[in-house]
């Protein structure tokens, strides 16, 4: 049994290292081929990148987890970055797992030190008209679609499986609970969750004795 386990571990390690080496090369070619601006990054697996008349910028020290092998929380999908007549602008020290960012007709702006949990979806459009009569005609449906930018400010944490929809701004340091559907903007230093997403509490509700008058010290115990 020990020999079988040792052989299995060796072959698994060798297979992982081989795939990783190949994936590194494929990922770099994919970034360059789609005109992505990037510097240092750590990418496990291969993201899907689609750039149609848009702009994609990866800030320094980006961490991307693609697929189940890189983040074992039951979401077996790569990250998707689709910029179609819109921009995806990602700040420094950002971590993204198995998420989809679709900047269609508007921009997605991610600040510094943001964490996007597994399976987060960010869309700048509804993709179709809300009026069923217009959806019946593909040309009208396309012409009448609405687009609006999304902004996630510095130090936010968006929980796994959440949707952030068009026109939303999430203020700095706020936390969005897992599985939320964010349809309206959330101010800074808040915890919010639900469908539709609502503010649960302020993250600045700390004991006043622990705060100096001129120091901003958000409370993250919850």
| pLDDT, tens digit (0-9, with 9 covering 90-100), for 166-214 | 999 999 999 999 999 999 999 999 999 999 999 999 998 644 444 344 3
- What is the per-residue pLDDT for 75? 79
106-142, pLDDT tens digit by residue? 999 999 999 999 999 999 999 999 899 999 999 999 8
Token pair for 26: 């494929």
- Could you tell me the residue ranges of all domains in the chain? 2-201
Catalytic residue among 92, 128, 134, 145: 128
Contact partners, residue 101, CB within 8 Å, separation at least 6: 79, 80, 81, 82, 88, 108, 110, 122
The whole model's pTM is what?
A: 0.83
Q: Nearest 5 degrees, angle CA 29-CA 10-CA 72?
A: 60
- The predicted model gives 214-220 an average pLDDT of 40
Band of pLDDT at residue 7, cut at 50, 70 and 90: low
First to last CA, the chain: 46
Indicate the range of 3-17, 79-93, 143-157 predicted with least confidence: 3-17
Band of pLDDT at residue 3, cut at 50, 70 and 90: low
Please confirm, yes or no, whether 216 is among the known catalytic residues: no
Contact between 71 and 78 (Cβ < 8 Å): no
- The predicted model gives 5-10 an average pLDDT of 55
Neighbouring-strand partners of residue 43 = 64
Token pair for 213: 């008058």
- What is the per-residue pLDDT for 70? 67
56-97, pLDDT tens digit by residue? 999 999 999 997 676 777 777 999 999 999 999 999 999 999
- What is the per-residue pLDDT for 177? 97
> What's the fold here for domain 2-201?
UDP N-Acetylglucosamine Acyltransferase; domain 1 (2.160.10)
């Amino acid at each position: 049994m020990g020999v079988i386990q040792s052989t299995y571990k060796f072959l698994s390690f060798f297979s992982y290292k081989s795939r990783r080496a190949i994936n590194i090369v494929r990922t770099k070619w994919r970034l360059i081929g789609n005109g992505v601006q990037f510097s240092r990054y750590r990418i496990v697996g291969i993201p899907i990148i689609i750039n149609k008349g848009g702009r994609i910028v990866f800030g320094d020290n980006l961490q991307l987890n693609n697929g189940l092998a890189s983040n074992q929380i039951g979401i077996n999908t790569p990250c998707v970055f689709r910029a179609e007549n819109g921009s995806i602008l990602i700040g420094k020290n950002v971590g993204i797992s198995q998420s989809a960012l679709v900047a269609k007709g508007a921009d997605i702006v991610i600040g510094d030190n943001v964490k996007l949990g597994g399976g987060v979806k960010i869309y700048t459009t509804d993709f179709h008209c809300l009026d069923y009569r217009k959806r019946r005609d593909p040309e009208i449906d396309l012409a009448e679609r609405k687009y609006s930018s999304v902004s996630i400010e510095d130090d936010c944490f968006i929980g796994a499986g959440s949707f952030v929809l068009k026109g939303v701004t999430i203020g700095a340091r706020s936390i969005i609970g897992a599985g939320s559907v964010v349809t309206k903007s959330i101010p800074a230093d808040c915890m919010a969750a639900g469908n539709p997403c609502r503010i649960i509490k302020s993250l600045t509700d700390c004991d006043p004795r622990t705060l100096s008058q001129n120091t901003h010290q958000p409370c993250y115990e919850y």
